[in-house]
Amino acid sequence: MKKAVWLCPPLMAALAAWIFTLLGFTPWTAVLIALLLVCPGIIFYGIVRVFRHPRGFSPETIHTRGMPLDLLAPIYDRYCPIIGLGRAFRLETLRHAGLRAGEYILDIGCGTGVLTRLAAHDVGPAGRVTGIDPAAKMIGIAKKNGLAEGSRAEFIPGVAEHLDFEDNRFDCVLSSAMLHHLPPDLKIKCLSEALRVLKPGGRLVLVDVDRPSNTAWWIVLWPLLFWSFTEGQVKGRIKEMMINAGFSSAERVGGWGGLLGFWKAFK
C-alpha cells in the first residue's frame, strides 16, 4: 500500500493531461499544464516527508545529527562493489582486525552488515558480534541477510555517539566507512564511546575517508574540504581525533583506493 503512494503523481498527471486534451488543448500543452499542476504537489510532499523524518523516510530510524543511510539501503549491497568496496575490501578490513575465535566484536554503523557477518564467521560460535546502525532500513536488511545466511551476528538499532553497552565489553570495535557520516563533535564522541566499551588493550579498527594520497584525488575531492563532516578527515586528522578521544596509540596501517585509510588504535 505504501509503495502505491508513488504511483499517485504519474497517474494524476496522466489523468489531468487526458482531461485537458478533452477540453481541447493540444496533447503537448495538456501534458505541460498537467505537469505544472502535479509537480508542486510532489515537491511539497517531499519537503514534508524530509522534514518529518530528516535524511530518510523511515520513521523508525533513530534520531542522530549524523547521516543515516536509509535512502541508499535498498541498493547498498549492489552499489558497494561497483565503487570498489566489495569482498576484497572487507577481507582487508578483517586482516587488519586479526579477529580470533571467542572474541567479542562491535561493528559501529554496520549498514547492511556485510562486514559484521564476516566477522561473526571469524570469531566462531564462542565469540559474539554485534552490529549497530541508526538507519532502520539498514538494520532490517542486515537482519534479513543474516537470517538467510544463518549468521550468528546480531543487529540492533543504535548510534555511535551513545553506545548502549557497558564499559570494557569488546575485544575489538570495527568502524567501516561510518566516521564521515558524523559531524566533528560526534566523531570525538563516537571515538570516546568506542574506547569506553573496549576492554583494556582492546583495538579499534577503522577505515574511512582520509587524506587523499595523490594529486589526482585532490583535484576530484577538494570540495570535501568545505563540508564539516569530511574536512578534518581529508586534512589528515584521524590520528589526532583518536588520540584526543583517549586512545593510547593510533596508526595508519594501510590504504584503499587512494582515498580511504585503515587505522588501528589501542585502548
Q: Which of 159, 195, 198, 242 binds ligand SAM (CB under 6 A)?
A: 159
Residue type, 69: L
Alpha helices in 67-214 (DSSP H): 76-82, 87-97, 114-123, 136-149, 184-197
**CB closer to ligand SAM, 27 vs 257:** 257
For ligand SAM (CB under 6 A), the number of binding residues is 24
Residue type, 68: P
CB 193 within 8 A of CB 259: no
Q: Which of 13, 17, 64, 193 binds ligand SAM (CB under 6 A)?
A: 64
* Span near ligand SAM by CB under 6 A; candidates 44-52, 102-110, 165-173, 221-229: 102-110
The yes or no reply on residue 133 touching ligand SAM (CB under 6 A) is: yes
* Span near ligand SAM by CB under 6 A; candidates 22-30, 34-42, 108-116, 216-224: 108-116
Nearest distance from C-beta of residue 105 to ligand SAM, angstroms: 13
Residue type, 98: G
The yes or no reply on residue 111 touching ligand SAM (CB under 6 A) is: yes
Contacts of 203 (CB under 8 A, 6+ apart): 97, 171, 172, 173, 264, 265, 266, 267
Q: Which of 16, 120, 130, 134 binds ligand SAM (CB under 6 A)?
A: 134
**CB closer to ligand SAM, 35 vs 156:** 156
The yes or no reply on residue 58 touching ligand SAM (CB under 6 A) is: no
The yes or no reply on residue 127 touching ligand SAM (CB under 6 A) is: no
Neighbours of 211 (CB within 10 A): 16
Q: Which of 108, 142, 197, 224 binds ligand SAM (CB under 6 A)?
A: 108
With CA atoms as reference, report the closest residue to 187 among 235, 129, 220: 235
The yes or no reply on residue 160 touching ligand SAM (CB under 6 A) is: yes
Nearest distance from C-beta of residue 111 to ligand SAM, angstroms: 3
With residues binned 3-state (H G I as helix, E B as strand, rest as coil), the percentages for the chain, rounded to 5, are: 50, 20, 30
The CA distance from 130 to 113, in Å, is 9
The yes or no reply on residue 68 touching ligand SAM (CB under 6 A) is: yes
- Nearest 10 degrees: CA dihedral of 137, 140, 145, 148? -150
The CA distance from 127 to 109, in Å, is 20
The yes or no reply on residue 210 touching ligand SAM (CB under 6 A) is: no
Residue numbers of the site for ligand SAM (CB under 6 A)? 64, 66-69, 80, 108-111, 114-115, 133-135, 138, 159-161, 176-178, 181-182
